[in-house]
Structure formats: structure tokens, C-alpha cells
Amino acid sequence: MISSGIMKPPRGKIPLPIIIITTCVLVFVAILYAERLSFLSSKTIFRFKPCPRKTTKPKSSNKKADEEVVVVNANENASSWIDDRFDFDPEECNVANGKWVFNHSIRPFYSDISCPYIDRQFSCVKNGRNDSDYLHWEWQPEDCTLPRFNPELALRKLRGKRLLFVGDSLQRNQWESFVCLVEGVIPHKQKSMRLGRVHSVFKAKEYNATIEFYWAPYLVESNSDIDIIDVKKRIIKVDAIAERAKNWTGVDILVFNTYVWWMSGVRIKTLWGSFANGQEGYEEFDTPIAYKLAFKTWANWIDSTINPNKTRVFFTTMSPTHTRSQDWGNMEGVKCFNETKPVKNKKHWGTGSDKRIMSVVAKVVKKMKVPVTFINITQISEYRIDGHSSVYTETGGKLLTEEERADPQNADCIHWCLPGVPDTWNQILLAML
């Protein structure tokens, strides 16, 4: 047979020219597709909020990391990994969702020695507390970065304004924290403090600003506001607020709270009308019912009196108490006595925070006409069993003796050391301003 002279490729193999052509076509299609995706992603239909990149220490497999304790080394190379949390936005960031991060490099803005305005009740270092780790925990939300408190910025935002904290001793705790956070950058002759039994005023003269506190533990009136009487004899006038509230008008920023005085463990004696009738006419209610009646009175006053174009209204959620160590798994402990680290369990919630009260507040505020912004401190403070005054405090106007400090039953697990946890509450407040 005569050959045609054409060499046929071996059966089962693809000729090289066809491979080259096919490869070129695939590459071209891929490039075209990538350009199309790039074009689409630039359109507003896929608009995403850009996230600034930050650097933190990568997670470790050691025991401390397992306990969610992160130690930040200030000298560490900043390019270790990417933190894609967005800048703080009160409308988008759930500040209550996060963790406490231990950072030994940070220092408080003040001490209970440098700031002269701290009650002895909160002056833990002055009163003999020797451990200091509780001063170096930073709250880190998972979704966003919470800016550190900036005293100069706070004063600029308050220029020509009145900031008034209204509530109980926990609100006084927060007020003293705010004053101490800013007073250190104000020259001595440019600041003053007027302390009153009910109304106290700190003034930053150069800024024409005041940071004030008004004592109203129930917000509404009671027979135990000024002259504190036995809890079983207290009567709350749940429909009366005008006498207190007349001192809250004309204020630019109002920050309210009321919680711990309601949690007496007994039914609340509530009264409508005048106290002149003595105990006649009062009724006893479970705490959530009495709280709701009083809180509605407060809400009605806000809606009928406050101009939201001139005054911003905040409400600090309940500050947890830590009087039952079994809540965080310390079966041998007594209250918060000798606790030196935060609770590590995610979403820990103890018996010292009443969700029924939170529900009342949320439902009433939802129906209000005037916007109320929550300073949501409950969950973040739940972890901080280490931050209370504990036995480094006073009782009856006298410091605890060494013998009294040795008794864990004397631990104050309601109020907080200053500096301490309330500084973070004010860090959140300033970010919201």
C-alpha cells in the first residue's frame, strides 16, 4: 500500500496545537469573568462597610489563652495578624458582645490618690487593696473597636453643656469615675466641686461645663431618699416625680439609672397620692410590678418635658451584684471575696441581675416618644467579679478593721473600685456622644 505522506497522531493523544488553542481560550474566559466580577463589586448593590485593619496578638494554645486571657506585649511586632473589626458605631455595634482582654501596658487615667473626688467607699487602694490586675482589663467588643476614653475630647464635647447623672449609689460610682477621668487635664484653678447631700456639681470653668450628680435612688419619690430607713418600712410613691425632676430640666445630657434599691427581696410598698396619710392606702406589689409603675412615671415625665432637639437621654442598665459565688462556679467561696480575675465563661449571667427588670425597661422605653439610648453595662460587668470594693471599703462611715476584712461576709459586692469597671461604662458613654 502506498502511503499518503501524512503522519497521523497516535490514537488517544490530543495534538499540541489543539491544547495550546484550548488553553488560550480558557485563560481569556477567566480574565473576562474576573473583570465582570470586579465591575459588579464596584456597584452600590454590594456596598459593604470598609473595616480598618488592626493588629493584635494571635491566639495561643497555652492555658491562659484557653481562659480567654490575652496579654498584649507593647513591644511586639504589629504585623502579626489582621483584626477586621469596624470602628465603633452605636447603631451597628453590639457593645455587650465581647470579652475582657488583659493588657499590662495600659495605665488608668487616675488613681484614688491622685483624684480627690472619690468616696472612701470606692477607694480600694487607699483602703488597703494590694493586688492590681483588676486595673488592667480592657473591654473588647467582638464586632467593633471601642475607642479609649479621651479626656480632652470629652471636655470638648461638653463645652458649654451640663451633664447630669441621676440615680443611686451606682450612678454616683459612675459620676465620680467620669469626673476623675477628666479632672486630671484641667488646671487646678480652672475646676471646682460643690458637694451636696442630694445634688453635687463639678465645674470645668474653661469649658463652661458641669458634670453633676443628683441623688434619686428610685427616680420617683419615697420616704427613704434622704433619711434612709429600714427596708421593710420603705414606701415608694410610684406616681410622683415632679419634685425631683424639676432639678433635671435645662440639662443637655441626662444619664439615669435605678435598680439596686428595688432588689430588697421583699414586696414593695407602693403608694398613690399624698404621704400625709401615713401608711394608709399603700399596696404591696412584687418588685417588677412596682418597678414598672415607677418607670412609667419617669417615662411620662421624659416624654412630656424633654425636648430631644436640646437634650440627650441615656439610661445605664442595671449594675450586677455578685453576692453568690456559686453563680460563677466557686463552690467554696463567699460572695466576691478574694476574687482577682473576671469570669471566663462566655455569656455568664448571675442571680444578681434580674431579667424581669430588664424586660420592663425595654418594653417601656420602646413605647416612648423621646429617644432613650441605653448604656448597656450589665453583661460586660457580669464578668467582673474582681472589680468590687469587697472588704476594701467602709461601713457606717468607718473603714473596715483588719479583723473585719478577714470576714468575707463583710465584702461589698455591689459597688466598684475606682479606678475600675465604671471607667469602661464612661468609655462607652463617650463613644456614644
Residue 316 per-residue DSSP state: E
Q: Which of 355, 268, 344 is nearest to 320 (CA)?
A: 355
Buried b (16+ CB within 10 A) or exposed e, 113-135: eebebbbebbbbbebebeeeebb
Q: What is the rounded CA–CA span in Å between residue 128 and residue 417?
A: 12
Separation in Å, CA 251 to CA 41, 173, 183, 212: 47, 20, 20, 10
What single-letter amino acid sits at 107?
R
The set of catalytic residues is: 169, 412, 415
Q: Which of 271, 276, 299, 287 is nearest to 368 (CA)?
A: 299
Write out the E strands in 169-217: 191-194, 199-204, 209-215
How far, rounded to the nearest angstrom, does the alpha carbon of residue 366 sit from its chain's CA centroid? Answer: 20
The strand pairing partners of 213, in sequence order, are 165, 200
Q: Which is it for strands 137-141 and 86-87: parallel, antiparallel or unpaired?
A: unpaired
Residue 3 C-alpha cell reads as 502511503
Q: Which is it for strands 283-285 and 253-256: parallel, antiparallel or unpaired?
A: unpaired
Residue 204 C-alpha cell reads as 470645668
Q: Are 415 and 169 in contact (CB under 8 A)?
A: yes
Q: CB burial class (10 A; 0-12, 13-18, 19+) of residue 412?
A: buried
Q: CB burial class (10 A; 0-12, 13-18, 19+) of residue 79?
A: exposed
Can you list the alpha helix ranges (DSSP code H) found in 57-163? Answer: 63-66, 151-157
- Within a 10 A sphere around the Cβ of 274, how many other Cβ atoms? 10
Write out the E strands in 220-285: 221-222, 235-237, 253-256, 268-271, 283-285
Q: CB burial class (10 A; 0-12, 13-18, 19+) of residue 151?
A: middle
